[in-house]
Amino acid sequence: MILQYASALLISDLHLTPSMPLTAQRFFDFCEKDAPKVEAVFILGDLFEYWVGDDTALHSPFQQEVTRALATLSTKVKTFYLHGNRDFLVGAHFLNKTGMTLMQDPSKIAIADNEYVLCHGDSLCTSDVGYQVFRSWVRKSWIQKLFLSLPLHWRRSIANHLRSNSGAQYQRSIKSSPEGVQLKTDVTLAACAAVLRDQTGSQLIHGHTHLPAHHHEHLQDQEWQRWVLSDWDLDHPETVRPRASALMIDQNGVRYTDLIKA
C-alpha cells in the first residue's frame, strides 16, 4: 500500500558535520519551526557528511544533538529516511532513537493525491561506471558487517581517506574536462526512465547531484517530471553561494521553499 499524506516537505544532502555550524543550526530550526507545519517529512539521504556506524553517536555530542532534534520532530510529524551515498550505514539503532521510518530506494508515495517516486539519486548516475561498481560492493551486507566490526577510529580513517581521494579525483577531472565531469556525475535519462517504469510512475524526486531544478523529460514514448533537491551549505560563502531549500508538496502543488530567507 502506498503511503498517503496531504502535505510534505522533502530535503536531502545537508551533509551535517560539526565543522558546518550554520548549516546545522538551520537544520535544527527546520526541525523546530518549518517541518511541523506538514504531515510528513522525507529526508532523501546524505543527512550527514559521513556515517560509519550507529555507535559513533556514543562519542559525538553533535550527533547526539541531531538525534534529539529528529526524535522531537518525529513526535510531531511522520518522518522518513532514505539512505544516501554518504550515510547508507545508518542502522536500526539510530532509526529507533530518532523515531524515523526507513524507506527503500526507490519508493513510491502519494502526497496531495499525486504519486511520486523517491530516491537518493546516486543509483541514477549510470554514466559513472566506476562509482556504480563501488556502490554495488559497499551495499553488500557482508561488506558492511565486516566494516562495522572494525574499531571506530579505523572506520573514521577509512571514510576520511575515501572522501579525500574522491575530492582530489574530482578536482583533477574538473580541470581537464569540466563538461565531461558534469555529464558523468549527473543522472541519465535511461536510468530515470527505467526506475519510473519499474515503479509505474511519472514524477520523480531525488537529491545527490546538488543541481536543484524542475525538469520535464522524455525518452522515446515515455514522459515524466523530475525535481532535484538542493544540497545545504551556509558555511562557505567564500566558495559557494549559500543555499538551503526544501521541496514543499501540498494541495497547491509542488514548489521549492527557500530556507535561507524563511
Question: What digits encode the pLDDT tens for the residues 43-64?
Answer: 999 999 999 999 988 889 999 9
Judge whether residue 75 has pLDDT over 80.
yes
- pLDDT confidence tier of residue 262, bands split at 50, 70 and 90: low
Tell whether 162 is covered by a domain.
Answer: no
Percentage of the chain lying above the pLDDT 90 cut:
82
Average pLDDT of span 68-91? 96
Q: What is the CA 155 to chain-centroid distance, rounded?
A: 21
**Sign of the torsion angle spanned by Cα atoms 260, 76, 13, 216:** negative
Say which residue the cell 531525488 belongs to: 206
Tell me which residue of 8, 28, 2 sits closest to 78, measured CA to CA.
8
Asked whether residue 115 is domain-assigned, the answer is: yes
The predicted-structure confidence for 101-140, as pLDDT tens digits, reads as follows 999 999 999 999 999 999 999 999 999 999 999 999 999 9
* Residue 176 confidence (pLDDT) above 90: no
Give me the number of domains the chain comprises. 1
Is the pLDDT at 95 greater than 60? The verdict is yes
Residue 44 lies in a domain: yes
Domain holding 214, by residue range, is: 3-123+189-258
| Closest residue by Cα to residue 10 from 261, 252, 251, 250 | 250
Average pLDDT, rounded, for the chain:
91
pLDDT in tens, 201-233: 999 999 999 999 999 999 999 999 999 999 999
φ, ψ dihedrals at 151, nearest 5°: -55, 150
CATH number of domain containing 52: 3.60.21.10
Question: 245 — phi, psi (to 5°)?
Answer: -150, 165
Domain membership of residue 254 (yes or no) is yes
Whether 130 is in a domain gets the answer no
In a domain, 166, yes or no: no
Tens of pLDDT, residue by residue over 31-48, are 999 999 999 999 999 999
